[in-house]
Amino acid sequence: MTIAEIQQEILRMKKEQDICILAHAYQGQEILEVADYMGDSYGLSVQASKSDCSGVIMCGVRFMAETCKVLSPDKRVWLANPAAGCPMAEQLDLESLRRLKEQYPDYAVVAYINTTSELKTECDVCVTSSSAVEICKKLDNDKILFIPDPNLGRYVADKIPEKTFAFYKGGCPRHIVVSAKDVEKARAAHPDALFLVHPECRQEVVEQADYVGSTTGIMNFAKKSEHKEFIIGTENSIVEHLQFACPDKKFYPVTVQLTCMNMKVTTLMDIYNCLKGRGGEEIFLPQSVMEGAGRCIHKMVELGG
């Protein structure tokens, strides 16, 4: 079968089975073309919860499928490729978090959305990269333990100097590879380009940005900007998607190393096989986890996330 033939079969089967397909922005273009919604992890879960469909296939990583299930408990949710995990989400387990909380007993625990549902049960609130600053500002507690990404945490802390922050020594192994030298090289090669960066990058990189924001924020900024050239400081799929969306503009990766292989394990055939009933993994979570993670997520919504 050709890519086009597989795509047509997927479109036919998802309609017949009343299933919507969610594609994280780091997926390939061929997957985005069969998706009902494309975006950031939390935004996708919200879209699914508002959908009338009875089932959801998540083309992303495991914590995203879990978040989707928490927000859509009455829907069947599948992870297209069961091997698709997020190294950052898996860096910290419950026991490690409990020990960390003992070190910082008076701190509110703020979890990045990129954490497992189980971990969220031990946290006060979760945040996205676009909502983290505002939510941390609104918390009554002036002491915040931010997990698991210290790069995003320090970006938030710099915006709220009146609060005290503590961090876990984790982070995204993809974004952390970007160095100030990479930025220097990219700017030298493309002197007229604006540099757009995700706050999961290191501080030395974020400080050089013309714009800092979430994946969706970066894409929206580039699309709306009158500027014609951009260096992209997040996963390299975004370069490709923006090239398709804005053929009159030029987009360059800050480094070829910024590629998430965990996202790339999901293929078009994974979606096809999932719809055929011979692939994917249906997500089931204990009721205690559904309730605990739900409380953490709903607190974010309550605070404006």
The values of phi and psi at residue 192, to 5°, are: -95, 0
> 162 and 185 in one domain?
no
> 221 and 150 in one domain?
no
> 26 and 155 in one domain?
no
What are the pLDDT digits (tens) for 113-135? 999 999 999 999 999 999 999 99
Task: Return the number of other C-beta atoms located less than 10 Å from residue 192's C-beta.
Answer: 10
What are the pLDDT digits (tens) for 262-281? 999 999 999 999 999 999 99
Count structural domains, the chain.
Answer: 3
> 189 and 165 in one domain?
no
Residue 33 has pLDDT above 80, yes or no: yes
Q: Which of 137, 132, 144 is nearest to 107 (CA)?
A: 144
> 103 and 69 in one domain?
no
pLDDT at position 251? 98
> 153 and 192 in one domain?
no
Q: What's this model's pTM, rounded to 2 decimal places? A: 0.94
> 272 and 240 in one domain?
no
CA contacts within 13 A on the Cβ side of 49: 16
Average pLDDT, the chain: 97
Q: What is the CATH number of the domain that holds 254?
A: 3.40.50.10800
Mean pLDDT of 42-54: 95
Do residues 234 and 197 lie in contact, with contact meaning Cβ atoms separated by under 8 Å? yes
> 70 and 197 in one domain?
no
pLDDT bracket for residue 304 (50, 70, 90): confident
> 268 and 232 in one domain?
no
Q: What share of the chain is helix, strand, coil (3-state, %, to 5)?
A: 45, 15, 40
Cβ neighbors of 35 (< 8 A, separation 6 or more) are 21, 22, 23, 27, 59
Q: Give me the percent of the chain exceeding a pLDDT of 90.
A: 99
Q: Which of 44, 80, 76, 42 is nearest to 61 (CA)?
A: 80
pLDDT at position 305? 72
Residue 12: domain span: 3-85+263-285
> 70 and 14 in one domain?
yes
pLDDT at position 249? 98
> 280 and 218 in one domain?
no
> 277 and 297 in one domain?
no
